[in-house]
Amino acid sequence: MSTERARDDGAVKVGIWKLAPGVQRSNFYALLGVAFFSIGLLTLVGNLRPYLFNSMLGIPDDIQGRVSGVMDVISEIPALLLSGVIGAASDRLGRRVIYGMGFAILGVGYLLFPLAQFNWTLYAMIFITACGSCLISAMLAAVIADYPCETSRGKLVGICFFLNGLGIATLVGLAAQLPQFYLGQGMDAIEAGRAAYWTVSAICVIPFVLVLRGLARQSPGQITEQEPVLATLRIGIAAARDLRVRLAYASAAVSRASLSIISAFFFLWMVQAGKQQGMTPAEALSASSGIFVVIQITATLWAITVITFIDRVDRVLFMTVASALACGSYVWFGLQDNPFQPAMYVAAVFLGIGEMSGILASQALIGQVAPERGRGAVIGVFTLCGSIGIFLAAIVGGTLFDAWRPSAPYVVMGCTSGLLCALAAYTWINTRVRVDAPR
């Protein structure tokens, strides 16, 4: 990968990525490493949940959807309360300080989680991990928005979410095998579960070090003047006057909810289906991990494809197409009757495309429309909207999981993506803003 320094504005260029002034190569490489771990480690909170429910806590099948939904609702409380403040605080304290705190808190959460019981302690543990998760989510979006020049924004979003997908596939593939591995070492079900959680806790140390040692002390989008936090927060709210910013906020709700649905309900669905076919929870978790990996590998490869053209198309138009893809793929996946049949892998391929399309479109749009000054506050409101989406998806999805079918949350997200597609089409027709990268 060749590296050169741009002559016109002092910006560093690394391969096809031109970085914002003040961002160094080491910061870019650190971001790539952190991107690999960020979403994958957040995803494991939900991926390990079926084993926790079935083999460690003994929660009945007929209430698992609602319990999972309540946990997802609780997990969004920190984000609902703090997202705007997190963004504004990071504008003043620095992205890496807040980002590092996120990984530290998440690691502590994974350390304590397997000690919980089916009472208030279970919900306390999800709250702790959620505090770390909301810091990580907000800072990942903020740093991705800070680091590129406008002509490379879509490419940086693409490579970061390529690494997100690769990290999810790798970490989930590893974590899904951990309980079965530790059982094979002679541990009982509870000991194996604890060892799996503690292994994930240890992994959190890696991105923690990368953030503190590699990210820039001050990002281009940070506010350096000592303005009140609420003053910077108002920037995020005022930005919603722009129709495209409103679309970006709506897309945050849908894309974050979609990602949460995959994390929270996929393995829960697989374990229940596996138990009906005579599998143990550990066996079902292991057997279904291949389908999940297909979703993430497809999403990862699709991110590479999107990198080649995203900076040459209108971001709002891309949002329209991406939402349509997500709508069809989520509905198709959710209507599968037997999740262990070969057709599930085909549906998983399209789900991966739909998932990544929605995420990339959302991040690329907010990165473009968020103003440089106080960008952290705008990203904070963006993250807040994502939390609201997860909150609603958890309530509706968890209820329908128990009352209708375990795959119901996917059908719900497909329908929601259809509504976002309509909003994006309306926005595109009314704005007709085209952002073309220089050829």
Spell out the domain ranges in the chain: 19-431
Contact yes or no for 264/336 (Cβ under 8 A):
no
DSSP helix/strand/coil, 18: strand
How far, in Å, CA of 358 to CA of 365, rounded?
11
How far, in Å, CA of 382 to CA of 223, rounded?
18
* CA 81 vs CA 132, 248, 285, 383, 384: distances in Å: 13, 20, 34, 11, 8
Contact yes or no for 283/125 (Cβ under 8 A):
no
Tens of pLDDT, residue by residue over 166-214, are: 888 889 888 888 998 999 899 999 999 999 999 999 999 999 999 999 8
Check residue 433 and give left, alpha or beta (phi > 0: left; psi -120 to 50: alpha).
Answer: beta
What strands lie across the sheet with 12-14, from one edge to the other? 3-5, 12-14, 17-18
User: Which pLDDT score, from 0 to 100, does residue 439 have?
Assistant: 45
Query: 19-431: which CATH topology?
Result: Growth Hormone; Chain: A; (1.20.1250)
Q: How confident is the model at residue 65 (pLDDT cuts 50, 70, 90)?
A: confident
Percent of the chain with pLDDT over 90: 24
List the one residue out of 352, 328, 355, 345 whose CA is nearest residue 414: 328
Give the DSSP H or E segment for 348.
Answer: helix 343-369
> 51-75 as b/e, with b when 16 or more CB fall inside 10 Å?
bbbbbbbebeeeebbbbbbbbbbbb
* pTM, to two decimals: 0.73
Contact yes or no for 424/87 (Cβ under 8 A):
no
Q: No. of H helices and E strands in the chain?
A: 15, 3
Q: Which residues contact 404 (CB under 8 A, 6 or more apart)?
A: none
List the one residue out of 358, 336, 346, 341 whose CA is nearest residue 407: 336
pLDDT at residue 14 tops 70: yes
